[in-house]
Amino acid sequence: MALPTHCPNCNISFDGGDIYEKISKTFPEKSHDELIEYCSHYGWMPENKKNFSNIIHVKELGYGGYWQCPECEWNDRKEQNL
Ligand SMILES: [Zn+2]
């Protein structure tokens, strides 16, 4: 299941910004090539850019967990009526 980009309940954006831009600010000493290598661990590539998501992954033993909105605590388990 793809992650929602907005909360279905309170409608805040889960967009946490471009991964490369975030990482380059966190590690200003890294070279461009090092940053690309680092970002690739998040699935980010120059020709396939991705953004971080602010959505929270709540882990639960045996169930794999569920996603929760950091603002209103909506979660996809409620969505699925489990
Ligand atoms: Zn919400």
* Identity of the amino acid at 4: P
Q: Tally the domains of the chain.
A: 1
AA letter at 73: E
Report pLDDT for 4.
84
pLDDT reported for residue 48: 95
- Output the CA 76–ligand 1 centroid distance in Å: 11
CA dist 12 and 19 (Å) reads: 19
Report the pLDDT value the prediction gives residue 81, as an integer from 0 to 100: 55
Q: Which residues surround ligand 1, an ion (CB under 5 A)?
A: 7, 9-10, 69, 71-72, 74
pLDDT value at position 79?
Answer: 62
Domain contains 1: no
- For residue 76, the model assigns a pLDDT of 86
- Residue-level pLDDT at 64: 80
Q: Has residue 9 been placed in a domain?
A: no
In a domain, 5, yes or no: no
Full domain range(s) for residue 74: 15-80
Torsions phi, psi for 67 (to 5 deg): -100, 140
Q: In the prediction, which pLDDT does 63 show?
A: 74
Low-confidence ranges of the chain (pLDDT < 50): none
